[in-house]
Chain A
Amino acid sequence: MSNSEILSSLKLAGKTAVITGASRGLGEAMVRAFACAGVNLYLIARNDEKLQYIKQELSNYDITVHCFAIDLTDERATKEVFTKIAAYGGIDILINNAGKMTAKPLAFIKKEDILAQFEINTFAVIRCCQFASRLMIRNGGGSIINISSMLGEYGQQGQSVYSASKAAVGGLTRSLAQELASHHIRVNAIAPGIINTQLISELSDTEKNNTLNSIALQHIGEAEDIANSCLFLASQWSSYITGQIIGVDGGIHF
C-alpha cells in the first residue's frame, strides 16, 4: 500500500481538527500529518509568527487553515476562539497537545510552579474538551485526543508536578470517554515516552541517558511517531477504541 493509499483509507479528508500547541514540536508534526490526510485545521499556540509560517507552508494542500494566537490559560480568549470555530462550522477532532514541563525537586516547588503547569497541562485541556465536545455534539460526534505522558503513568524524580498534571489528563480521558460516549464522541490519550522536541531540552543529560537506557527500542522517538498515532485515533480505524491511554514510547520500562 502506498502512503497516499494509507492516508485515504483513514477517511479523514474533509474533516476538521483543532490542534493546540501547533507552533512547534509534536503539534507541528501533527499539523503536517493531518494536512497530508486532507484535514481542515485550526491551529492554536501563542506564537503567531510561527503559526503563520506553518500555515504558509501548507498552502499547497487543498485544505483550509485558521490560526489563533492565544494563551490557552486565558479562559475568555479560549471561548472566543471556539465561538469563531463554531461560526465556521464546528469540528470533528480535538488534539489537546499544548503543554509545559518544568523539572524541580519537591523541596523547591512553589505554588506558582504548580499552577503554571496545571493551568496549561490540565485546566486548559478540560476547558477545550468542554467547548469542543459541545461543537462535536452538534455535528453528531467526534474524536478527542489528549496528549498526556508516560511520566503521568510512571512518574520520575524531579517531575512530580508535571507527572501529576499529566496523570490528571489520564483520569480525565477515562471519565470523559464514558460521559461522552452516548454523544458518539471517543476520548483517548497518547502518552509519549521521550520524543525529540524542544520540551526534552529541559531534561538534564543524566535524565536523558537514564531514560534512554530504559527504552526497549533503544532510541528516542520522533514527533512523527506521535502524529501517526493521532491520525489512527482520529480515524475510523479506531472506531471501537475509547477511554484508552496509549503509550507511544518505544517500550519504555522504569
Chain B
Amino acid sequence: MNNNEKLLNVFSQSLAVSREIIKDDLEYNSITQWDSTAHMALIAQLEAEFSIMLDIDDIIDMSSVGECKKILKKYHVKF
C-alpha cells in the first residue's frame, strides 16, 4: 500500500467518513466528524501508521488534508 492509500485509510477510519470525501482541501472542523476528539484519534493513527511522533506545533498546524501531507513530508513521508 502506498503512502497516499495509507493516509486515506487513516483519515477515513479516524474520522469515520468515506474515502471519497477526503480531498486535500478538506479542513479541520469543516465537517462534524472532524472535531477535536477525532483529531486526537487522527494524530494517534497517523503516528502509528507512519512510525513518527509529531511536534505540538505540527499538530496545531494540521488544519487540512493538504496541510497534513505537507507536514508528514517533514517527517520523511513521501507522497
Contact = CB atoms under 8 A, between A and B. Distances in A.
Interface residues of A, number: 16
A133 B53 CA distance: 12
A134 B44 CA distance: 5
B56 A130 contact: yes
Contacts of A135: 44
B45 A138 contact: yes
B51 interface: yes
B49 to A, nearest CB: 10
Q: How large is the interface on B (under 10, 10 to 19, 20 to 34, 35 or more residues)?
A: 10 to 19
A137 B37 CA distance: 11
B25 interface: no
Given A83-B53, A87-B51, A134 B43 contact: yes
A91 to B, nearest CB: 12
Contacts of B47: 86, 134, 138
A123 interface: no
Contacts of B43: 134
Interface string B26-47: 0000000000010011011101
B55 interface: yes
B77 interface: no
Interface of B: 37, 40-41, 43-45, 47-48, 51-53, 55-56
